A and B are shown apart, each in its own frame.
Chain A
């Protein structure tokens, strides 16, 4: 179940992964697609992807200059309707036509899992990269929960999920398709039934496993005209077992250990559940300065033994300026749990630096894991332009592995917090008043006053006096 990896982040990735496309891309193109995946638990996941490309006169200057690479996280933000509305406005058809009519906020936020993303990147238009296009890719993934949305029923349809059906493609779209994952159900059509029956299917290797998709093309006029609207239905013939979902090869957990308000420990557990292949993982941690990391306590253990990272980059924090940045390349042995832990001390903030709700705690941003995860079946090299959009979300590098970027859960850490109530303010105020009064009074009472002659001569006179003193003559 996708909800097992809770993640509610709007990720803005500049210059994201994926090589530049080789083929000449059409000008101002829009592709939209929706992937529906029934999960073994009876829940259903829906992923929208919209890709807009346009040519631009903005030229990229040479190679990617890593000096300008920025990474920022806002771990506190929970995705809400106010994130969805501007996101929808970026779409050419807004929510008037095409797949985007399904984007009804009240249904999308009545789900178990919600993830929304905007990626923007430049793309080379030719092999020598003399001119570029820009690509704006918007994705939205939701998981509908049979317990909540389905009221216990596990049959799904577009109308049931979004309270809308598809009537027409977006007129601007060059491609508008709906894919339904029928991998486990295509062989024996016993468990699940898709209605209307698909005209074509599509097969590919996604996340290391071979998957089959039923394809519904909205630009195909026959598709809509038959019944004037398209309401895809998924019917379980045999009610799905409530089995535990299959465990992915790479997953991670993060937590704060220890108690009290002085010290603590950040622990990240990296799971490699692949039965026989080890693979490296790049772990990126950005920790705010008010957790003072003790780098000498950094320990990485897998299977009870110390695991030495092959690469460590650490940039220490500067108070109120810059967070800690810790980046490591760790080899995860096959079928193992690797624990990365580092101790920290909680800093005392200045009293104006506390948030308005200091007792809520302070957020620590998630760790980012980037890995090439070995796949179960070999994938053939893909023609990026021809394949569906969801295919490029987890790009395959050489056929034996695929790229995954994971975000662990953000953490909530309590810092030592003064009691910001009336007595605290009173104490602060009284202390200030007393300090000011006492200071000036003490100063007045202990200082001895004497009249000093105004010195007139300046430097020349002082020099002259020095010489006179050396000669034994009284000074001027």
Chain B
């Protein structure tokens, strides 16, 4: 592999890097176009614009418009039916100019080779993920998120795989790989294995979740470190947010991962030649693929780069957790049945026609709490974004703050509601009332968690581990304040807060309480934004599904 081995190429790369290191206020579209064309690519641009539902304070953007530049390297004598993508996010605030330089150098090197069987698309996107989303939607000619973008001019067939590169600093000491995509989707494990092979071959230091690979699995340290990495991955996957530009490719069934060159302040420093060699090797391997990557696992958890936990091992854990709900529901069902029989036997000449137990509970009494909690969920989903302008007029807050605070207000207001609903509900047998409600809530929760665990195991497991004990224990008798505290602490919001603290703890950057609160608010805003900009499903899932279900348990707890 002769990439950058001759001094001319290396000098050219140095020149590029210097040019790109000058402060950039916008993507130098014309320069990129010219450079790509001189390398011998077919160059196209795509402009896009997007008005976010409310200002994004983390990235400081609201009305976003930008331009993506992409060059297609046509495979010789092939008919452009398949392609690979190499993407580098770049923007005014991004420090990713080194990666752009490497992209151009690789493009120049690839252009001189005869062996390509698939077209290679070199894509430079602006506004990181927004640009990637705009390009992907235009490439597949769909509009999922309401992005306005100009139609593409050039296509290169079905995309088989994609690699994204981010170099966050000038000094690269290790290469971190990110696999978690939108809604917890993962690329085929073979892509990761491919990366790992080239890491070992090139002697690169590769990390996962920023953690070094444990060497010694026999002592306690290795597995412990693996557990930390695993937990980080679970948290990252459960968040459902794309952990890099690759995350958006997965929706279109394009296997993709993001490589991040990071400065972890270690002694060894890698120049871009080493990174370029690894990338060249990966692209050559991907180029040789006859079929899409499909042989290996799509559902896995990673304690280290070379080890994985397969679905067959971890799924029973979630299954057993959900079994608790099922058994509890069964117990309630039998209690209800017995209570119904007992009532009939003791009541003597009661209602002439003995009702079947399920009907005897009075399904009507369940309608009100179910409707109210679902309405709260709907309000939680719709009101914050819809009412942000009203809120900013009446309170001294910005739009983003308004959204987050409305979210929290509705969330807390939901807790106050049961005290109002129980007066509306009139039941002859109060005990059977809450039992029936809890039965419904348990089944509802089990179904939801089951579905979530199938699609995004980490999220499902995390929610199950927190919600199941409280849900199983809750009843209106016994130590009520204790149950209430338990329920609040295992609610969706508290779980999110706890996860944030755990995440930073595992990253060895512990949070203070105030920082944690700020991060929590920012995470709420990001969660809502990601739903609107990329179609992440975590926010609607929590607002429309789990929050109402959780309110039902609250309702059970305060049943009178």
Say yes or no: is A147 at the interface (Cβ < 8 Å to chain B).
Answer: yes
Q: Is the CB of B141 within 8 A of A258?
A: yes
Q: Is the CB of A409 within 8 A of B81?
A: yes
> Which residue in chain B gives the minimum CB-CB distance to A257?
B141
Q: Is the CB of A8 within 8 A of B155?
A: no
Q: Is the CB of B294 within 8 A of A79?
A: no
Choose, from A202-210, A354-362, A454-462, the stretch at the interface.
Answer: A354-362
Say yes or no: is A248 at the interface (Cβ < 8 Å to chain B).
Answer: no
> What are 17 A-B pairs at a CB distance below 8 A?
A6-B80, A8-B79, A78-B77, A78-B79, A109-B77, A110-B114, A112-B74, A147-B40, A148-B114, A244-B37, A253-B154, A258-B140, A259-B140, A259-B252, A357-B290, A410-B79, A421-B295
Say yes or no: is B323 at the interface (Cβ < 8 Å to chain A).
Answer: no
Contact string against A for B residues 451-491, beta-carbon threshold 8 Å, 1 for contact and 0 otherwise:
00000000000000000000000000000000000000000
Q: Taking A148-B113, A242-B40, A412-B81 as given, write out 18 further A-B residue pairs in contact, using a Cβ cutoff of 8 Å, ordered by the A residue number.
A: A3-B74, A4-B74, A75-B79, A78-B78, A113-B76, A114-B77, A148-B111, A257-B140, A258-B141, A258-B142, A259-B253, A358-B291, A361-B158, A361-B292, A409-B80, A409-B157, A411-B157, A419-B294
Docked complex Cα distance between A145 and B75 (Å): 12
Docked complex Cα distance between A393 and B106 (Å): 39
Docked complex Cα distance between A151 and B80 (Å): 23
Docked complex Cα distance between A257 and B151 (Å): 12
Say yes or no: is A32 at the interface (Cβ < 8 Å to chain B).
Answer: no
A113 contact set on B, CB distance < 8 A: 76-77
Say yes or no: is A183 at the interface (Cβ < 8 Å to chain B).
Answer: no
> Which residue in chain A gives the minimum CB-CB distance to B83?
A412
Say yes or no: is B342 at the interface (Cβ < 8 Å to chain A).
Answer: no
Known A-B contacts A110-B114, A244-B37, A259-B251; the reply to A414 vs B292 at CB < 8 A is yes
> Which residue in chain B gives the minimum CB-CB distance to A260?
B253
Q: Is the CB of B42 within 8 A of A267?
A: no
B111 contact set on A, CB distance < 8 A: 147-148
**Which of chain A's residues 415-440 have a Cβ closer than 8 Å to chain B?**
419, 421
Say yes or no: is A224 at the interface (Cβ < 8 Å to chain B).
Answer: no
> Which residue in chain A gives the minimum CB-CB distance to B289?
A360
A109 contact set on B, CB distance < 8 A: 77
A7 to chain B, nearest CB (A): 6
B106 to chain A, nearest CB (A): 14
Q: Is the CB of A148 within 8 A of B291?
A: no
Q: Is the CB of A79 within 8 A of B77?
A: yes
B84 to chain A, nearest CB (A): 13
Q: Is the CB of A412 within 8 A of B78?
A: no
B405 to chain A, nearest CB (A): 36
Say yes or no: is A256 at the interface (Cβ < 8 Å to chain B).
Answer: yes
A419 contact set on B, CB distance < 8 A: 294
Contact string against A for B residues 57-89, beta-carbon threshold 8 Å, 1 for contact and 0 otherwise:
000000000000000001011111110000000
Q: How many B residues have CB within 8 A of the partner chain?
A: 31
Known A-B contacts A3-B74, A259-B140; the reply to A147 vs B79 at CB < 8 A is no
B396 contact set on A, CB distance < 8 A: none
A357 contact set on B, CB distance < 8 A: 290-291
> Which residue in chain A gives the minimum CB-CB distance to B155?
A255
Say yes or no: is B347 at the interface (Cβ < 8 Å to chain A).
Answer: no
A360 contact set on B, CB distance < 8 A: 290-292
Q: Is the CB of A359 within 8 A of B37?
A: no
Contact string against B for A residues 333-364, beta-carbon threshold 8 Å, 1 for contact and 0 otherwise:
00000000000000000000000011111010
Contact string against A for B residues 97-117, beta-carbon threshold 8 Å, 1 for contact and 0 otherwise:
000000000000001111000
Q: State the majority secondary structure of interface residues on B.
A: loop
Say yes or no: is B38 at the interface (Cβ < 8 Å to chain A).
Answer: yes
Contact string against A for B residues 129-142, beta-carbon threshold 8 Å, 1 for contact and 0 otherwise:
00000000000111
Q: Is the CB of B77 within 8 A of A8?
A: yes
A145 contact set on B, CB distance < 8 A: 76
Q: Is the CB of B292 within 8 A of A6?
A: no
Docked complex Cα distance between A111 and B74 (Å): 12
B80 contact set on A, CB distance < 8 A: 6, 409
Which of B74, B157, B251 is close to A412, meaning CB atoms less than 8 Å apart? Answer: B157
Q: State the majority secondary structure of interface residues on A.
A: loop
B291 contact set on A, CB distance < 8 A: 357-360
> Which residue in chain A gives the minimum CB-CB distance to B39?
A147
B113 contact set on A, CB distance < 8 A: 148
Most chain-B Cβ atoms within 10 A of its Cβ — which of A261, A357, A412? A412
Say yes or no: is A33 at the interface (Cβ < 8 Å to chain B).
Answer: no
Q: Is the CB of B77 within 8 A of A256?
A: no
Q: Is the CB of A242 within 8 A of B37?
A: yes
Q: Which 10 residue pairs are nearest across A and B when measured between Cβ atoms?
A: A257-B141, A359-B291, A360-B291, A255-B155, A359-B294, A412-B158, A412-B81, A114-B77, A259-B252, A6-B80
> Which residue in chain B gives the minimum CB-CB distance to A409?
B80
Q: Is the CB of B78 within 8 A of A8?
A: yes
Most chain-A Cβ atoms within 10 A of its Cβ — which of B40, B154, B252? B40
Docked complex Cα distance between A363 and B158 (Å): 11
Contact string against A for B residues 26-52, beta-carbon threshold 8 Å, 1 for contact and 0 otherwise:
000000000001101010000000000
Say yes or no: is A265 at the interface (Cβ < 8 Å to chain B).
Answer: yes
Q: Is the CB of B158 within 8 A of A256?
A: yes
Q: Is the CB of A7 within 8 A of B79?
A: yes
B147 to chain A, nearest CB (A): 15
Docked complex Cα distance between A78 and B79 (Å): 8
> Which residue in chain B gives the minimum CB-CB distance to A43?
B40
A78 contact set on B, CB distance < 8 A: 77-79
**Which of chain A's residues 249-282 have a Cβ closer than 8 Å to chain B?**
253, 255-259, 261, 265, 267
B349 to chain A, nearest CB (A): 46
Docked complex Cα distance between A410 and B74 (Å): 15
Docked complex Cα distance between A261 and B294 (Å): 15
B66 to chain A, nearest CB (A): 22
A8 contact set on B, CB distance < 8 A: 77-79
B76 contact set on A, CB distance < 8 A: 3, 111-113, 145, 148
Q: Is the CB of A414 within 8 A of B158?
A: yes
Q: Is the CB of A147 within 8 A of B141?
A: no
Docked complex Cα distance between A132 and B37 (Å): 52
A110 contact set on B, CB distance < 8 A: 114
Docked complex Cα distance between A253 and B113 (Å): 26
B112 contact set on A, CB distance < 8 A: 147-148, 151-152
B560 to chain A, nearest CB (A): 49
Q: Is the CB of B79 within 8 A of A6?
A: yes
B292 contact set on A, CB distance < 8 A: 359-361, 414
A252 to chain B, nearest CB (A): 11
A291 to chain B, nearest CB (A): 14
Docked complex Cα distance between A358 and B155 (Å): 23
B294 contact set on A, CB distance < 8 A: 359, 419
B77 contact set on A, CB distance < 8 A: 8, 78-79, 109, 111-114
Docked complex Cα distance between A55 and B154 (Å): 47
Q: Is the CB of B140 within 8 A of A6?
A: no
B251 contact set on A, CB distance < 8 A: 259
Most chain-B Cβ atoms within 10 A of its Cβ — which of A110, A112, A357, A358? A112
**Which of chain A's residues 106-131 have a Cβ closer than 8 Å to chain B?**
109-114
Known A-B contacts A109-B77, A114-B77, A148-B76; the reply to A412 vs B82 at CB < 8 A is yes
